[in-house]
Amino acid sequence: MSTETRFRLLLVEDEPTQRLMLERQLTRAGYVVDTAENGQEALNKILEGRYQILLTDWDMPGMDGPTLCRRVREANLSTYVYILLLTGHLTTDDAVAGLSAGADDYVRKPANPSELLARLTAGSRIVRLEQSLREANEKIQLLSITDSLAGTFNRRYLNDQILKEVERARRHDRPLAAIMADIDRFKRINDERGHASGDEVLRQFADLAKSLIRPGDWIARYGGEEFVIVLPETDAIQAAEAAERIRAQCACTPMALSTGHIEVTASFGVAALSRVPQSIESAADALLRDADSALYTSKNEGRNRVTIANRHDLSAD
């Protein structure tokens, strides 16, 4: 078993000599082996989420093997644990009881070393397949909420997550702000440099904005050349300061495109979550609508500036 594919296995056996023999055998086979002497100790370790395989005896003092299997399956673990049950119970009913409790497979005691390792190898294949499927699902989930062009979150994510941010802010009576950003004269960039260059500008602006916001803040592409930056735990003045940092850095840093360098500016509108009693949906809509209105004020008053909703602009050409 290669270093990259070594699985962490928890061996549960109350008899010391048998536990030591199995531990040595499994370690030689390439598994990273930890041990437990009883079911409760094993369950505590499993709940830490560090194991891919559980090899447990059936008969143990206190919590027996089938009970341990049931408790593991009831736990909210982030990854699947393959369970192999060691049993001296020889009837079909016993085997069915063990599998029904949550075991994936069983080996009769005393375990033949070759059979035990063969069944663990089969279990390792299942674990590896589950990991691959989980990683694929995570990638699909990420793609479903990511704007493929700009590399930010997309409008779908914005629509869903802004409701959660509003609900959290109101529940804990905390501030929440949003910045609406629009790249100035973007159509002219597309017309003069081509759409490929326009795409580069979108990506570089998004990267610039992401580099200047805090962990916990996030950015989504709203549409076209517009972006929304959501800032939890932030009031309007703090959000305007964040927008100003992005505006100033963008204005003073020419973008290096495949067609050559270009100076790009952006306009910003800032709004804070209203305390007016209303539904979460209405509050989220109002937050984005106010930020958008402030953005249009920035555009109409000369571009390359930051405006707070219902306030004067903070910066200008």
Active site residues: 225
DSSP 62: S
Residues 6+ apart with CB under 8 A from 26: 9, 11, 33, 55, 120
Tokens for 5? Answer: 């594919």
Residues 6+ apart with CB under 8 A from 309: 236, 269, 270, 271, 272, 290, 291, 293, 294
Give dist(CA 303, CA 296) in Å, integer: 9
Q: Identify which of 108, 107, 41 has the alpha carbon closest to the alpha carbon of residue 68.
A: 41
Give dist(CA 40, CA 60) in Å, integer: 10
Give dist(CA 112, CA 309) in Å, integer: 75
Q: 62-84 as b/e, with b when 16 or more CB fall inside 10 Å?
A: ebbbbbbbebbeeeeeeeebbbb
Give residue 21's identity as a one-letter amino acid code: M
Residues 6+ apart with CB under 8 A from 131: 79
